Structure 1
Amino acid sequence: MNWKSEIKAAADRIAGHAQVTPVMESRVVGLDYPVEMKLEHMQHTGSFKARGAFNTLLSMEVPQAGVVAASGGNHGAAAAFAARALDHPAKIFVPELAGPSKIALIEQIGADLSVVSGEYANALTMARIHEEETGAMQIHAYDAPATVAGQGTCFAEWDAQGLQADTVLIAVGGGGLIAGALAWFQGARKVVAVEPETSCALHAALGAGEPVDVSVSGIAANALGARQIGRICFDLAQGVNSVLVPDEAIAAAQQTLWQAHRILVEPAGATALAALMSGAYQPDPGERVAVLVCGGNIAPDPLAG
């Protein structure tokens, strides 16, 4: 697949639907070097996921039964938002661990929502059953070409905004976002995968030589808690630098973003920065680094009524 062409086409397709999110340079994160940041938590519904959802719906013929998606929360909200914007019915399945904030967000958007017990994998099973029974179109959270190309538009956009970094650190759950980065950069920039110690599907797959099931837990599990890495991501990520961070480092990075910049993000949104602050990834002298701030759906919602 010519990923560059697919991502450029996706960028044209979703223009006017997805937000162009801002970038900034941070010098106040307890580090002795500047960090470029792209604030993708300011995307529609609070995460980068709207890009893949819009690209999927705009590149395919949607059946009368509409769309179905399984999600830890952010993808479900994005799929529901894109479906509503394009006048398609949406059925969303999320696990209980999605939490009340993300569940409420999906409900507010107006999708038909089912909350299932267990983890994301359980929600995916239910979504596949719904797909088979109704003919609805599945919008996969991370392991589909249209999803990956849509997420890749984030990095095409960042390049156009003047990204200077040699290295980009990205939080990983199921792998759609980092797959989009790898598909776009194609070695032009170093990409570092950052995962929580207790939800590390990519790290485990790279160690095993193939995607394997992992147990998931921790403060970022409702966004980064895929039980198995996507095949597209696994194929693109061979040789990628993979690091793990503890929950304590993620929480500290969350707090730093708020205290230094009044940026309020969910744990997943702070995970990439946590790798720098904790020393899990240590740049070489002169190496310019950037982090993708990927999600802002913090729970509990501090401004909920």
Structure 2
Amino acid sequence: MRWHDEIDVASQRLHERAAHFLLETPLWKLRAPALGLNGAEGVEVWLKLEQLQVSGSFKARGMMNRLLANDIPASGVVVASGGNAGIATAAAARAIGVRCEVFLPGVSPEAKRARLRALGAEVVVVGDLYADALAACLARQRETGALLTHAYDQLEVVAGAGTLGREIEQQGGLPDSVLVSVGGGGLIAGLAAWFEQRSRVVALEPERAPTLFRAREACAPVDVEVSGVAADSLGARRIGAISWEITQRQVRDALVLPDDAIRAAQLWLWKELKLAVEPAAALPLAALQTGLYLPRASEKVCLIICGANVDPGTLA
């Protein structure tokens, strides 16, 4: 598959039919010391502030692309989500005037549930984890015939995520490396498909939700136990099939981080830069602050700040 072509088509579709909906998010370029990184001589860190995107995460790109690329029945759209994909689907559905039903796991925070209801979505909470919500969602889709929007494992969703990489290149040129969080893998699949090793794309996962890391150990996607500080948005139990295929070819590094490092980076972003982000968005900075990822001298490293659907009370 020619992923560049698919991403170009998605970009054109979104520009022509959803320019009123999606934002071009800022690319903020900083020197390493501004992020509390010492000894990183000449390193330039780019923060892609996708948490400012409509619906509070990168997911708006893929969800809107999925809706615009398909005929939507009277029963509307249905999605299972840890929260962000549901919020993005609900926002896109409201923008084009169709019904939306969202299945959430019990781990999803109340702040995300409230946001969904405010967007007019019908919210159903099922089970404990994303996999439970997905099973219920698939059963509902078979019953109603609604258009299924998958959180990460559909061509249009991955191509929509890939428009983020396209936008980064248009704004700043090619970074040397791109650090990105992984749950089900839609975001890293889109970015890796766009950059095609012209930039080094690095996969980052919580130790307590390592879908890609465990798949690589097993040489195939496998189910993993999911918990921890980022489980609400990085809570997929298994890496997506599309992401597995793309990352096997395009992504060399799959690294894991402990919850305390993720949490520390999240709080640092709030206290020092006033960026209110969810834990999943803090993994790239955590990788730099802990030394898990060591940039070369004068490297341009892009951190994908992927989402901001967080309860502000947790940032104290």
User: Does the pair score TM above 0.5?
Assistant: yes
**Does 2:27 match 1:26?**
no
Instruction: From the superposition, tell whether residues 5 and 164 of structure 1 become closer, same or farther in structure 2 (CA, over 3 Å).
Output: closer
State the partner residue of 1:61. Answer: 71
Residue by residue over 1:214-234, the C-alpha shift from the partner in whole angstroms, topping out at 9 and shown as x without a partner, is 001111000011100001001
Identity percentage of aligned residues: 46
- Ranges in structure 2 where 5+ consecutive residues have no aligned partner: none
Q: Could you tell me how far apart the structure 2 residues matched to 1:109 and 1:47 are?
A: 15
Q: Could you tell me how far apart the structure 2 residues matched to 1:223 and 1:300 are?
A: 16
Query: RMSD of the alignment, in Å?
Result: 1.3
1:117 deviates by 2.0
- Ranges in structure 1 where 5+ consecutive residues have no aligned partner: none
Q: Bigger shift: 41-50 or 157-166?
A: 157-166
1:300 deviates by 4.9
Q: Could you tell me how far apart the structure 1 residues matched to 2:65 and 2:201 are?
A: 23
Q: Could you tell me how far apart the structure 1 residues matched to 2:304 and 2:35 are?
A: 15
Listed as ranges, the matches of 1:153-302 within 5 Å are: 153-238=163-248, 239-300=251-312
1:206 deviates by 1.3
Listed as ranges, the matches of 1:90-109 within 5 Å are: 90-109=100-119
Q: Is the 8 A contact 2:183 2:233 kept in 1?
A: yes
Instruction: From the superposition, tell whether residues 108 and 302 of structure 1 become closer, same or farther in structure 2 (CA, over 3 Å).
Output: farther
Secondary structure in 1 matching 2:104: strand
Secondary structure in 2 matching 1:93: strand
Listed as ranges, the matches of 1:136-155 within 5 Å are: 136-155=146-165
Q: Bigger shift: 23-32 or 52-61?
A: 23-32
1:34 deviates by 2.8
Q: Bigger shift: 105-114 or 277-286?
A: 277-286
Q: Is the 8 A contact 1:101 1:301 kept in 2?
A: no
Q: Is the 8 A contact 2:205 2:283 kept in 1?
A: yes
Q: Is the 8 A contact 2:27 2:47 kept in 1?
A: yes
The letter of the residue matching 1:93 is F
1:290 deviates by 1.1
Q: Could you tell me how far apart the structure 2 residues matched to 1:139 and 1:98 are?
A: 18
* TM-score under structure 1 length normalisation: 0.96
Q: Is the 8 A contact 2:99 2:121 kept in 1?
A: yes
Residue by residue over 1:143-183, the C-alpha shift from the partner in whole angstroms, topping out at 9 and shown as x without a partner, is 11000000000110111101442000000000000000011
Q: Is the 8 A contact 2:174 2:198 kept in 1?
A: no
State the partner residue of 1:4. Answer: 4
The letter of the residue matching 2:70 is M
Secondary structure in 2 matching 1:36: strand
Q: Bigger shift: 160-169 or 25-34?
A: 25-34
Residue by residue over 1:182-230, the C-alpha shift from the partner in whole angstroms, topping out at 9 and shown as x without a partner, is 1111111100000001011011111111000000111100001110000
* TM-score under structure 2 length normalisation: 0.93
State the partner residue of 1:82. Answer: 92
Q: Is the 8 A contact 2:153 2:186 kept in 1?
A: yes
1:259 deviates by 2.3
The letter of the residue matching 1:26 is L
Secondary structure in 2 matching 1:269: helix
Q: Is the 8 A contact 1:100 1:300 kept in 2?
A: no
Report the count of equivalent residues: 303
Q: Is the 8 A contact 2:44 2:299 kept in 1?
A: no
1:282 deviates by 1.2
Residue by residue over 1:34-61, the C-alpha shift from the partner in whole angstroms, topping out at 9 and shown as x without a partner, is 3111000001111000000100011111
1:302 deviates by 7.2
Q: Bigger shift: 292-301 or 181-190?
A: 292-301
Q: Bigger shift: 16-25 or 172-181?
A: 16-25
Secondary structure in 2 matching 1:223: coil
Secondary structure in 1 matching 2:272: helix
Q: Bigger shift: 33-42 or 170-179?
A: 33-42
1:301 deviates by 5.4
The letter of the residue matching 2:24 is V
